[in-house]
Amino acid sequence: MRYKKKAMIVAPQPEATEAGAEMLREGGNAVDAGIACALVQGVVDPMMCGIAGFGSCGIYMPAKNFHGYIDAHAPAPLAARPDMWANLIESEARDGYGFILRGRVNDIGYQSICAPANLKMYHEAHKAHGSLPWSRIVEPAIAWADDGWTVRPHVHYWWSDEGAFGRAPNWERTGFTPAARALYCRPDGTPKRVGDRVVNRDYAQTLRAIAKEGGDVFYSGEVAHAIAEDMRKNDALLSLDDLKAWKPVHNAPLWGDYRGYRVSTNQPPGGGVMLLEMLNILENFDLRGLEHNSTEYLRVVSEAMKRATIDKDAHVGDPRFVEVPVGQLTSKDYAKRLAGEIERGIKAKVPRFNSGAVSKDTTHISVLDQDGNCFSMTHSLGMPSGVVTPGLGFMYNGCMGVFDPRPGRAGSIAPGKARFSSVVPSILFKDGKPHLIIGAPGATQIAMGVLQVVLNALDFDMTMVEAVSAPRFSATSDAIDVSNRIPRRVERELQALDYPVVRSPYTFGFAAVHAIRIHHDGLDGGADPGHDGNVIAV
């Protein structure tokens, strides 16, 4: 469906999408709408994202001649050390999303927390580019926290997740600290269910302080000191020094092109380099000439995914600590060589320490306003720590779980170092104008989901609803993971080619892509049906 409107917002939570649409109706711009949406997401999807998480946002404002990214990749605390957990390794997640350690110290609890990064990104984005007052932007989140919200199906599904391969189950995260349990669990200790109410007046008070004083209250003021005291009492790595030291990184876009479209995406340690490498490889194939989701289509795209994963694991990390060969990884010549290997049937081998689990606790926002400003943000808690400080009301990230506990690698632990994140908020341009605003939650599957929706839209000319709804697959290990709607005939044919195939029981999977496509005669939006989100045109 094409909307005869000039503005649109797409996000996985209806309450948050409505908050962003309110800002657009009041004359706010894409940044106002995106940040208001993000703050509500932290209330109504509190284990997916929040002010104590991490993220990356792309902003395009043609009237200001501005196009850039603000990256908030949560760094390891200054007390962290490269070898502090090297003797605790049990396995590496099969998809590459972190390590399982004895005692799960990196996965849940106070030592799993990295510096909370998101709030300063939100505040700086609004301060530089917003048009409505900051206090107005925070109002909808305060209202939802104060008045309460109802648990939706996807929230219940996620809170009840059992975990796998040594990961802490999410129901354990909801009740890990007394403050979390009081918010998110029933009296018997189980997570609240669909239709149950969540009222978070402590968080409403925290948000009121943020509305009045901005980000400083969280990073150096009253809230910061409450955070630091709780961390000290519970032997966390995080300290007040980490809060005071944190600053988002303002980057120029990382550029690529695909079949005549210009692709703007985020710099390392974000996932943009992976997206561009995969698009460059696949540009060498006539994908339109292949049947969509056929055996050969899955083979070709999966091999591109595997090669980008290998390069990511070996080379992509925090550029302040690791020399990332961005030029090489995103070059057309390099992609052509890799495409030649795929054409010859050469299988890439993705090294893994062991096998493990998939995580997807992240969320996304895509916004276009009536002046042509674009906003794309993916933000997350990583694997949520389960920690809620008494009286503050928000959950902290668990980003230490994704560092490589083996010293001397691109993803190894170091004080102040951010780890790789697959978040890849992106904007694609056609004839110099925005054409596709896109991003997704989904851990290591984010780049893979965004890739497939881009291919669906550009190579197969699907509507955005079709593009985000089509069955997906992923290859971030030697196996090809498929959602349950990929035909079993294709699975059998891939197995006949000696590919391990792992079938998910879920109808939708491998990221949850949310996108806006801009046509000359209207707007086309898609909210991934695997989540509870929606599209609102204004």
The residue count of the chain comes to 538
Across 5-27, average pLDDT: 97
Contact between 402 and 380 (Cβ < 8 Å): no
167 confidence band (pLDDT: 50, 70, 90): confident
Is residue 330 annotated as part of the catalytic site, yes or no?
no
Across 137-161, average pLDDT: 95
Main-chain dihedrals φ then ψ at residue 388, nearest 5 degrees: -125, 120
Contact between 356 and 164 (Cβ < 8 Å): yes
Report how many helices (DSSP H) and strands (DSSP E) the chain contains, helices first.
Answer: 18, 20
Of 295, 362, 389, 476, catalytic: 362
Per-residue pLDDT at 354: 35
Distance CA 190, CA 174 (A): 8
The residues, any chain, with a CB within 8 Å of residue 1's CB and separated by 6 or more, are 463, 465, 524
Residue-range domains of the chain with CATH: 19-45+74-248+383-402 (no CATH), 251-357+423-512 (1.10.246.130)
Torsion sign, CA atoms 187, 188, 189, 192: negative
User: What Å distances lie between residue 120 and 33, 35, 52, 54, 508, CA to CA?
Assistant: 17, 11, 10, 10, 33
How many Å is the Cα radius of gyration of the chain? 21
Helix (H) / strand (E) element for 14: namely helix 14-25
pLDDT(163) > 80: no
CA atoms within 13 A on the CB side of 118: 27
pLDDT(166) > 70: no
User: What Å distances lie between residue 330 and 194, 362, 445, CA to CA?
Assistant: 44, 26, 19
| Cβ atoms within 10 Å of 493's Cβ, excluding its own | 17
Mean residue pLDDT across the chain? 94
| Whole-prediction pTM | 0.95
Beta strands in 261-309 (DSSP E): 261-265
pLDDT(259) > 80: yes
User: What Å distances lie between residue 95 and 354, 443, 501, CA to CA?
Assistant: 10, 9, 13
Percent of the chain surpassing pLDDT 90: 86
| pLDDT tens per residue, range 388-441 | 999 999 999 999 998 999 999 988 999 999 988 889 999 999 999 999 999 998
